A and B are shown apart, each in its own frame.
Chain A
């Protein structure tokens, strides 16, 4: 009976039946503008062990910094075929792989960006898994981005924990971000 917010519950281990039809690991078909990047997110439990039955979702702006959503009313181009949403299960190594384009910068705060400046480029992440009762929200930023030092969201995070949000580029050019649900390297999660 609905007399208030519907409470959250775990996704459980057997979500596969639905997700398989809507898995979107490749966000950017040919022709979408921007720098093509590969992103690998790896999920770990509090002991550092990988989580092979998680579901990761990403949400991002296009390369121009425009979200494909009616709340983003700025006069910036939208790309046909690019929604900005990705979803993939973690594999036996705890990893979910996404192919996308590097997002452009978006304003802060939301009211048209007047006077708020720009956030550093980032990808929004939702974590779901067996044993996770509430969606865990976090962000991926790009290590080495000169805009990191002026990002208002990173400034909310103690300096010693900011590294948990920074993806690093491996020798093959893949952006990799481990997500730790707990333990000494616990990822910063946001209440948004």
Chain B
């Protein structure tokens, strides 16, 4: 019997597929349980995007247009780790977010808040050998959405990570610490209570750049490997 290379998450780590407070999940969630698939070569390999060429400025969302975007400039940095605390080196990290006014540069976003011609909102970087990554951006605004009466999304930045394998693919959202809107957000609260706080970045005074930008630290933890299997 071959053991899985990547550990399966214990319960209580991820949200359920259907979270009734987040209405869109009702029509878009499977009812039948997923079939447990012992990991094969198809699951333990995955896109590393090693050939993907990143421009040096792709991690700086304040430099992508003609001028400086409006809003509070911030540094968002951290490490990509596995569950054993080991660095996931060279991982591609992608982010996207709305502008400081709470509006996405996207034709589908009809929120009555100004677009910023100097803010596009998408960035990419590759983690270094120690798993470290860093973005420079502006703090995204909160915005209303149609989920329920007076529904607001707390300020957040979307993160997309591939990690080393198909099995480790993760898309998530980073939130800001102590945001009072979090308590009312069904997407944040879809995560089991014991794990939710992992989606909040930490304010990082030490990472702050004096006279220039405040910093937030957000470590991302992907699935860890099982110990080397023993022959039985």
Task: Name the residue of chain B whose CB is nearest to the CB of A53.
Answer: B108
Asked whether A191 lies within 8 Å of B35 as measured between CB atoms, the reply is yes
Shortest CB–CB separation between residue B31 and chain A, in angstroms? 6
Q: Report B's interface with A, CB cutoff 8 A.
A: 2, 5, 8-9, 13-17, 19, 22-49, 51-52, 78, 81, 83, 94-96, 98, 104-106, 108-109, 120-124, 158, 160, 165-167, 169-173, 187-188, 190-192, 195-200, 202, 219-223
Asked whether B167 lies within 8 Å of A192 as measured between CB atoms, the reply is yes
Shortest CB–CB separation between residue B217 and chain A, in angstroms? 9
Asked whether A5 lies within 8 Å of B13 as measured between CB atoms, the reply is yes
Measured in the bound complex, the distance between the Cα atoms of B49 and A138 in whole Å is 21
Q: Which residues of A contact B166 (CB under 8 A)?
A: 59, 124, 126, 137, 192
Residue from A85, A106, A156 whose CB has the most chain B CB atoms within 10 Å = A85
Q: Which residues of A contact B187 (CB under 8 A)?
A: 9-10, 133
Pairs A-B, 9 closest by C-beta atoms: A131-B24, A17-B122, A85-B47, A69-B45, A131-B28, A2-B219, A18-B122, A191-B34, A67-B45
Task: Name the residue of chain A whose CB is nearest to the CB of B33.
Answer: A191
24 A-B pairs with C-beta separation under 8 A = A5-B9, A8-B14, A9-B171, A10-B173, A17-B104, A20-B122, A22-B49, A45-B27, A46-B28, A71-B5, A71-B45, A71-B165, A72-B45, A107-B40, A107-B41, A110-B2, A132-B17, A133-B17, A182-B31, A187-B30, A188-B32, A188-B35, A191-B33, A191-B36
Q: Which residues of B contact A136 (CB under 8 A)?
A: 17, 30
Measured in the bound complex, the distance between the Cα atoms of B116 and A174 in whole Å is 42
Q: Report A's interface with B, CB cutoff 8 A.
A: 1-18, 20-22, 45-47, 49, 51, 53, 57, 59, 61, 67-69, 71-72, 83-85, 106-111, 113, 119, 122, 124, 126, 128-137, 139, 153, 156-157, 181-182, 186-192
Asked whether A83 lies within 8 Å of B47 as measured between CB atoms, the reply is yes
Measured in the bound complex, the distance between the Cα atoms of B30 and A135 in whole Å is 12
Measured in the bound complex, the distance between the Cα atoms of B9 and A119 in whole Å is 25
Measured in the bound complex, the distance between the Cα atoms of B195 and A84 in whole Å is 34
A1's contact among B19, B200, B222, by CB below 8 Å, is which? Answer: B200
Asked whether B35 lies within 8 Å of A128 as measured between CB atoms, the reply is no
Task: Name the residue of chain B whose CB is nearest to the CB of A158.
Answer: B35
Known interface pairs A3-B198, A7-B172, A181-B28; A13-B81 also in contact (CB < 8 Å): no
Task: Name the residue of chain B whose CB is nearest to the CB of A7.
Answer: B191
Q: Which residues of B contact A192 (CB under 8 A)?
A: 37, 39, 43, 166-167
Known interface pairs A2-B220, A18-B96, A106-B41; A8-B15 also in contact (CB < 8 Å): yes
Task: Name the residue of chain B whose CB is nearest to the CB of A106.
Answer: B41
Q: Which residues of A contact B30 (CB under 8 A)?
A: 136, 181-182, 186-187, 189
Asked whether A17 lies within 8 Å of B96 as measured between CB atoms, the reply is yes
